[in-house]
């Protein structure tokens, strides 16, 4: 029996409601919202929902969830708020806790930008497979719905548009669950050419957005972030030693770095000249609220990340698992023990005593979790649980399973697990039992 506090890693609050609505087979789709939020008038939205206090107040006794933990773990708040001035961060947080959602998007700086929200709910085909393997069904992930995210930061795959609208026009309190969305046809993407052409930049932006989502606190970064930008521009000769930004050259270099098609796709066009563009606004002395995408584009141009800024200026730790990248722990992967994993999804669950649990996924298909926080650098080479083995690992097992030259113990050592795990996996893969006896040479 699922519970209302069983939010999965990176799962939006309304994503869980839609998932549970099929599980409980509510005859009336409004009933679940009424039961969990105390009103049928809340608008189902994945990114920045309101009514969080009402949700917490209606949880069964003994459930240790706070409004803040839900807002940080299962809404887009940390990414939308992370780069805003403190006043706006607080106003946004309070609005999400309250029952008034009017003006939420205005606070994020999104409204004054030309950055589009996605009209359709989105799924990564590889996340779907991994989720089904782990949970038996799939679910919506916050990161895939975030403005500017076109590539899955875990699988480096292009995210597909399902035909489910991001807001339901007929039933505003309800969204079709991911299981239904994944069975519907995928919408053709008008931008697929621009996306494939810019896959590497878009992948790096997606990883940065994931990094923002993984943050567990929002600190006031103004005016330090402007100083950080100007310092970086100085090293590139784009600002004078006294901190005067050479706006013409700066604009010229950034427009040469990003193609106009890419900037259009992201709603961050720079065709208006120097006087009014997001680039000039970012390095001007104003606390003009800027959405996260302009910041991430500038950071990427400067070959920096938000974490670099935090570490250099504010001195905070990036995540409970450090700054990354993190190693693949699959011994047969060519990227074994190298820093091949660029993002880590952090979740907190009852089972782990509310400690942070990081999920790390390598392109080879191998993924693992580790319960943290990490206290030393050596922690990075340890895992708590293997989540998916991946084709590479499975193939190595299959190749050696019937070989009389490799003992079970050797095979376990080769694959970095214990013999019991090997047997369990072999059973799942329908390999033949018993294994051939080992040939001992005289
Ligand atoms: Zn994915
Ligand atoms: Zn790997």
What's the 64 CA to ligand 1 centre distance in angstroms?
29
What is the torsional sign of CA 280, 114, 306, 364? Answer: negative
In this predicted model, what pLDDT tens digit does every residue of 213-243 receive, in sequence order?
988 888 888 878 898 999 999 999 999 988 8
Q: Do 130 and 367 meet the contact criterion of CB atoms below 8 Å apart?
A: yes
What's the 183 CA to ligand 1 centre distance in angstroms?
17
In this predicted model, what pLDDT tens digit does every residue of 145-198 receive, in sequence order?
999 999 999 888 999 999 999 988 888 888 999 999 998 878 777 889 999 999
Q: What percent of the chain has pLDDT over 90?
A: 51
Is the model more confident about 385 or about 286?
385
Reported confidence tier of residue 318, pLDDT bands at 50, 70, 90: low
Which residues lie near ion ligand 1 (Cβ < 5 Å)?
124, 126-127, 152, 154-155
pLDDT at 63: 79
What's the 141 CA to ligand 1 centre distance in angstroms?
9
Among all bound ligands, the one having the nearest atom to the CA of 388 is: 2
What's the 124 CA to ligand 1 centre distance in angstroms?
5
Reported confidence tier of residue 438, pLDDT bands at 50, 70, 90: low
Q: Which of 26-30, 285-289, 360-364 has the highest mean pLDDT?
A: 360-364
What's the 361 CA to ligand 2 centre distance in angstroms?
8
pLDDT at 275: 63
Residue given tokens 């943050």 in the structure block? 215
pLDDT higher than threshold 60 for residue 315: no
Among all bound ligands, the one having the nearest atom to the CA of 143 is: 1
Reported confidence tier of residue 378, pLDDT bands at 50, 70, 90: confident
In this predicted model, what pLDDT tens digit does every residue of 235-278 receive, in sequence order?
999 999 888 999 999 999 999 999 999 999 999 999 876 666 89
What's the 41 CA to ligand 2 centre distance in angstroms?
46
Q: Do 107 and 95 meet the contact criterion of CB atoms below 8 Å apart?
A: yes
In this predicted model, what pLDDT tens digit does every residue of 47-86 receive, in sequence order?
999 999 999 999 888 777 889 989 999 999 999 999 998 8
What's the 393 CA to ligand 2 centre distance in angstroms?
9
User: What is the distance between the alpha carbons of residues 165 and 175, in angstroms, rounded to a whole number?
Assistant: 8
Strand partners, 346: 358
pLDDT at 1: 44
Among all bound ligands, the one having the nearest atom to the CA of 396 is: 2
What's the 58 CA to ligand 2 centre distance in angstroms?
42
pLDDT higher than threshold 70 for residue 280: yes
User: What is the distance between the alpha carbons of residues 164 and 187, in angstroms, rounded to a whole number?
Assistant: 10
Q: Do 319 and 344 meet the contact criterion of CB atoms below 8 Å apart?
A: yes
Among all bound ligands, the one having the nearest atom to the CA of 141 is: 1
């Amino acid at each position: 029996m699922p519970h209302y506090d069983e939010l999965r890693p990176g799962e939006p609050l309304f994503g869980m409601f839609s998932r549970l609505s099929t599980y409980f087979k509510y005859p009336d789709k409004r009933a679940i919202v009424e039961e969990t939020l105390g009103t049928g008038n809340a608008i189902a939205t994945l990114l920045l929902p309101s009514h969080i206090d009402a949700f917490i107040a209606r949880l069964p006794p003994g459930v240790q969830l706070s409004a803040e933990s839900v807002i940080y773990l299962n809404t887009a708040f940390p990414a939308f708020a992370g780069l805003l001035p403190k006043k706006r961060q607080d106003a946004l947080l309070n609005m999400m806790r309250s029952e008034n959602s009017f003006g939420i998007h205005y606070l994020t700086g999104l409204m004054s930008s030309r950055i589009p929200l996605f009209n359709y709910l989105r799924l990564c085909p590889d996340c779907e497979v991994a989720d089904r393997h782990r949970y038996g069904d799939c679910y919506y992930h916050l990161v895939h719905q975030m403005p500017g995210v076109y590539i899955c930061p875990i699988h480096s795959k292009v995210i597909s548009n399902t035909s489910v609208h991001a807001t339901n026009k007929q039933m505003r309190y309800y969204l079709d669950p991911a299981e239904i969305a994944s069975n519907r046809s995928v919408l053709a993407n008008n931008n697929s050419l621009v996306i494939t052409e810019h896959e590497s930049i878009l992948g790096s932006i997606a990883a940065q957005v994931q990094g923002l989502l993984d943050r567990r606190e929002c600190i006031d970064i103004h005016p330090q972030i402007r100083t950080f930008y100007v310092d970086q521009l100085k090293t590139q000769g784009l600002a004078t030693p006294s901190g005067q930004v050479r706006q013409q050259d700066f604009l010229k270099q950034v427009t040469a770095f990003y193609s106009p098609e890419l900037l259009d796709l992201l709603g961050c066009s720079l065709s208006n000249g120097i006087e009014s563009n997001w680039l000039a606004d970012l390095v001007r002395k104003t606390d003009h609220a800027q959405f996260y995408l302009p910041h991430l584009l500038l950071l990427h141009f400067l070959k920096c990340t938000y974490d670099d800024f935090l570490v250099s200026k504010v001195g905070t730790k990036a995540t409970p698992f450090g700054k990354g990248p993190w190693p693949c722990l699959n011994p047969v992967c060519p990227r074994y023990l190298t820093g091949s994993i660029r993002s880590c999804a952090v979740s907190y669950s009852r089972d782990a005593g509310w400690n942070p649990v990081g999920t790390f996924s390598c392109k080879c298909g191998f993924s693992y979790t580790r319960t943290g926080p990490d206290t030393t650098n050596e922690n990075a080479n340890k895992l708590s649980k293997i989540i998916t083995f991946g084709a590479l690992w499975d193939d190595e097992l299959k190749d050696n399973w019937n070989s009389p030259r490799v003992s079970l113990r050797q095979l376990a050592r080769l694959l970095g697990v214990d013999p019991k795990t090997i047997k369990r996996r072999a059973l799942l893969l329908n390999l033949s039992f018993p294994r051939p006896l080992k040939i001992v040479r005289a």
